[in-house]
Amino acid sequence: MRAALYRRNGRASDVLEIVDLEVPDPGPGEVRVRIVTSGINPTDWKTRDGHAGRVPDGFQVPHHDGSGVVDAIGPGVDHLAPGQRVWLYLSAFGNRYGTAAEHALVPAERVVPLPDDASHELGACLGVPALTAAHCLGGDPNDLSGTTVLVAGGAGAVGHFAIELAKHAGAYVVATVSSAAKRDLAIAAGADTVVLYTDPDAVEQILAANGPVDRVVEVALADNLALDLAVVAPGATIATYAAAGELAIPASDFMVNNLSLTFTLLYGLTPEQMAAAVRWTSEAVAAGSLTALPIHPYALEQIAAAQDRVAENPVGKVLLQVGAP
């Protein structure tokens, strides 16, 4: 099979190569998937670059997310069958066969059925962004019905799916964005109200939309914490998935209003938490409630350029078109 891989950490153009690998056979609890589309996330290029501190064990085929068709199943796998359309998540986590190849070999629990009416592009967009969004939203759609959710960065990948998952669950969604073009994307995703967070009256606009918010999905906690605290209802939760560096917390504001602050990194979720996020995402896909992000397509041979494009933080999703549907 054709595969992209790297044998050491470093710049994309220095370490990524296209090679011929023997197609691996699935062992107990494993599934081999013929990849149609491979999705690239920031964590993919950061791991390759060495930011995660993980050195390849011989070689690493990168990329967590993707979509394709089940090619073979190992002993003990009874919820999937050869020929079934699927989407994958965290494929390269603790596993050398990610989705940047004609075949991926992954643990069966990371392979999810993809409905016939859902595109492979949508399947490859799910994974890290959609599951992160589902967990930030609390993991259970029944808890969101009738609430108000604020999604910071509504045009980003996680923000896009946070809007759609929250709407699927019956919430009123307010999204913040940085430009008029991004406002259009958030509206297309289904946000009820979209606010430019740079507006001097952004707080007033958010509160005027549907009152104080019950949950915040936050992309830039340090920058937006003051705004979040100004618009949340007592007992609200602020869930962030992209915090970095030092952060000063006004403890009294959290204490007086019984607020919660949670942090999400998919790698650390319990099996039960991950299963809940997968279940919610799958239900929303089956209902037709999730849509693909704007796509930036690349060929497998262009993986270095594709990963560099992701590092530039484009609006939309960078995908490798690997095989035929």
What pLDDT does 202 receive? Answer: 97
Tokens 């707080």 belong to which residue?
203
Under DSSP, the state recorded for 114 is -
Sheet holding 172-177, edge to edge: 193-196, 172-177, 148-152, 213-218, 232-240, 260-263
What pLDDT does 69 receive? Answer: 98
Half-sphere exposure of 268 (CA within 13 A, CB side): 5
C-alpha dihedral sign at 269, 275, 276, 282: positive
Q: CATH fold of 2-126+290-321, please?
A: Quinone Oxidoreductase; Chain A, domain 1 (3.90.180)
What pLDDT does 282 receive? Answer: 98
- Name the pairing type of β-strands 193-196 and 295-299: unpaired
What pLDDT does 53 receive? Answer: 79
What pLDDT does 124 receive? Answer: 98
Positions of CATH 3.40.50.720 in the chain:
130-267
Q: How far is CA 249 from CA 104, 161, 254, 255, 263, in A?
A: 43, 27, 8, 11, 14
Q: What is the pLDDT of residues 231-288, one digit of tens each?
A: 999 999 999 998 777 888 999 999 999 999 999 999 999 999 999 999 999 999 999 9
Between CA 279 and CA 283 the distance in angstroms is: 6
What pLDDT does 243 receive? Answer: 75
Between CA 276 and CA 313 the distance in angstroms is: 28
What pLDDT does 101 receive? Answer: 98
| 192 touches 174 (CB < 8 A) | yes
Under DSSP, the state recorded for 24 is P
| 248 touches 167 (CB < 8 A) | no
Tokens 């609430």 belong to which residue?
147
What pLDDT does 55 receive? Answer: 86
Q: What is the pLDDT of residues 34-44, one digit of tens each?
A: 999 999 999 99
Positions of CATH 3.90.180.10 in the chain:
2-126+290-321
| 67 touches 37 (CB < 8 A) | yes
Low-confidence ranges of the chain (pLDDT < 70): none
Between CA 157 and CA 315 the distance in angstroms is: 8
What pLDDT does 239 receive? Answer: 98
Listed residue (258, 252, 208, 206) closest to 237, CA to CA: 258
What pLDDT does 67 receive? Answer: 98
Between CA 195 and CA 172 the distance in angstroms is: 14
Between CA 108 and CA 24 the distance in angstroms is: 15
What pLDDT does 242 receive? Answer: 87
Reported as type and span, the H/E element at residue 284 is: helix 271-286
> What would be the CATH architecture of the domain defined by 130-267?
3-Layer(aba) Sandwich (3.40)
> From start to end of 80-212, where are the E strands?
85-88, 103-107, 111-113, 148-152, 172-177, 193-196
